[in-house]
Amino acid sequence: MSIFDSIKRMLGGDSTPAKRTAATPAPSPTRPVVPSPAPAPAPAPAPAPAPAQAPPPYTPLPAVAAPAPVAEVRVEGPPTATPVLAPSPDDVTDSAIEAAAEEHPPQDDSYQGPERRERNRVNARAGTRALIVDDSTVVVAVLRKMLQQNGFQTYEAYTAEEALELAKVLVPEIIFLDIVLPGMDGFAALRALRRDPITKDVPVIMISGNMLATEQFYVQRIGADDFMKKPFSRPEVFTRIERLLDDDGIPRRQGMPVQAS
C-alpha cells in the first residue's frame, strides 16, 4: 500500500470499497429474575366439634323431713277486731251433754263447791222467764228439762235473729246464749241485746263447747254476766243462776239497782 493510501485511510477517504459487515446488535441489558412470591398457606381446617357428652345418670334427691309444727303463741290483751265465728259444731257430743246433765261434779274450773245439794238452796221465784238460745236441739232439751223442773217458764230460739225478736216481745228475766250459731253469732247477739233499752239489763249466761269461742269469750267479756262450757252439769247451771238472784229470787245483772215493786 502506497503512502497515499495510508493518508486517505487516516483521513477517512479510502476509496477502496470495503466489505460491509452487518452490525452486531448490542446485547440488551438483562433483567434480574425476581422470584414470584410463594402462595399463602391454606388456612388450617376448623377442629371438629367435640362429641356431646351423655347426661349423668339420674340420682333421686334424698327425702326431706317435714318441718316440725310451730307452737301456737298467744298474745295477751284485747284483740283489735272480733273475728266472725263460722257455724261449726261444738267440740262435745250430744251424748256427753246428756250424761253431764245428770252428773253432780261440775265441768267448769271456775265453779267452786260445795255441791249445791249439800248447802241451803236459793231458788229463783216460780215462773221466772228464761230464754234458751242454741242451735243444738239436745242442749235446748236438756236446759228446758232442768229449768222447768225448778219452776222456770222457758222459751227457745235456734238462731240469734229469732232470739232478738223473742227477747223484745217476751222480755225474759235470764238468757242462756250459745256463742256459735248459724248466721249471727252469740257475740253479735249479745251486743244487740245490750244496745236495746228493752233487753240491756237482762242477765245473760253465755254457753259454748267450741274451744275457739271459749277463748274469745275470756279475752273479750263483752257484757256477759257468766259463762258455762259444754258439757255442763245440773249443779253448775243452778249455781250460776243463784249468783245472779237478788233477795226476791229475781235474776239481775251484777251492780244493777233493785227496782221497787
244 Cβ neighbours under 8 A, 6+ residues apart: 174, 203, 225, 226, 251, 252, 253, 254
Give the integer Cα–Cα distance in Å for 188 and 211. Answer: 18
Q: Which helix (H) or strand (E) holds 188?
A: helix 186-195
Write out pLDDT tens, residues 17-70.
Answer: 445 555 555 555 556 666 666 666 777 777 776 666 666 666 666 665 555 554
Write out pLDDT tens, residues 149-207.
Answer: 999 999 999 999 999 999 999 999 999 999 999 999 999 999 999 999 999 999 999 99
**Residues shown for the chain:** 261
Q: What is the DSSP pairing of strand 204-208 with strand 129-133?
A: unpaired
Across 17-31, 104-118, 127-141, least confident range: 104-118
Q: Would you call 143 exposed, middle or buried from its count of C-beta atoms within 10 A (0-12, 13-18, 19+)?
A: buried
- In the chain, where the domains are located: 95-103+126-243
Q: For CA atoms 166, 168, 173, 178, give the dihedral sign.
A: positive
Which CATH number applies to 95-103+126-243: 3.40.50.2300, 3.30.457.10, 1.10.1060.10, 3.40.718.10? 3.40.50.2300
